[in-house]
Structure 1
Amino acid sequence: MKKIVLILVFLSVSLSYSQGVIWENFSKDGLPSLTDAQRPIKPASYNLYHINPDALVQKLEGAVDRFSGGASIAVDFPIGNDQFETFNVYDAGAMESQLMTDFPNIHSYYGYSDTSLNKIYFTITPQGFRGVITGESILYMDPFSKVTPDDIMVYNRRDLVRTDLSFECHTDELVNNANMPEISEFQTKAFRDRAFRTYEIAIAATSEYTSYHDDGNAANGDARQMLLRLL
């Protein structure tokens, strides 16, 4: 009887620990064969981790707004080369309170490191975890594929390989050819007063982008993930 009790206690502790683990090293050997459409992001070098998004959301339950002055929550994140770094995490406040109420399964966060110049911006949605770390270098954190949203690649921006079909933006050329009036010195003062401003933003995306991210719910946060990459 005593042995049975000890076994049950051990299993209970092990299960509790596994449920609380957020990141685990992962090998791509066990991943299924994928098409280019299922895996459009193919960095030359990356580290793979399996994330427990429920454990991360639970860890960040009660995270306060980054400008509230409240206490942060310390969370470890992979930063490449099988290394982790601790970030002080806050709610990013990237969505209006009513939208946050309407879509409680969409979360966005901001964090900073005490030991480096790194800052992290990330989202957790029904489509998976996505993040970017800026500072000493730029690291992206994306699902390995659409069908494996909890298997996360961590890779440096320099490891993204350009192809002959790489996207080209000609907006600058159009702007330069539009003969737009120059912004006066008076008009630019508003951008140099160091005042924090909150803006409402509308984002348009191509049909290819929305088709890839489609999960049957048009309001599930694709634009928000794009916005968090810009903040």
Structure 2
Amino acid sequence: MQKTILITGGSRGIGAATAVLAAQKGYQVCINYLQNKEAALQVVDSINKQGGNAFAFQADVSQETDVLALFKAVDQFGPLTALVNNVGILETQMRVIDMSAERLQRVFTSNVISCFLCTREAIKRMSTRRGGMGGAIVNVSSIAARTGSPGEYVDYAASKGAMDAMTIGVSKEVADEGIRVNGVRPAFIYTDIHASGGEPGRVDRIKDSVPMKRGGQPEEVANAILWLLSDEASYSTGAFIDITGGR
């Protein structure tokens, strides 16, 4: 049976690298994107030119109606066997004392609600209790869930902490339904998310404080995600891999 993977936020950075690697490992790939259609189609084109099978679908996965439409599209593609909850935003670096309620709503809706909604729909399809064939979910968290990101984006860190708690809880709920749920906690990775925080060169600024003395690449995170999705990780659920260069 052809394996099918859905990657939210798959048009750039870690999501795009995961999509390409998943295709190389035999998955049909659904790339979800919010705004950057051109980037999403570039990833799709790259996969298809290499003999893979991919398509892109626009959806705001923090909105339930969009999530339902997205999963309906995936159903046309084939039975879902893997989900990567990769969507995440952060906003300009600031202290909590300066954060508005609107900012908090945006961050928690985008980073937490989206993860719950997509996980819910994936479970409905994967659960052996509901007639599914099982599957695996990987949530892309952040080392910020452990450090708190003081002075930069405590709200983002808190949203990733919520994702970690959800990963543990859901993994236990569905462990006997053929579904594994794990997480990765990257940090100091060269992606354009840092520009959203107002500091595009953040990784270069702090890389000397990383034991390995360098930033990470999206492909290094993708390798961990695909391992957790694979049969090689068949006895791992509720687990996390920190991808931080040792910090």
Choose between structure 1 and 2: higher strand proportion: 1
Q: TM-score, normalised by structure 1?
A: 0.25
Q: TM-score, normalised by structure 2?
A: 0.24
Choose between structure 1 and 2: higher helix proportion: 2
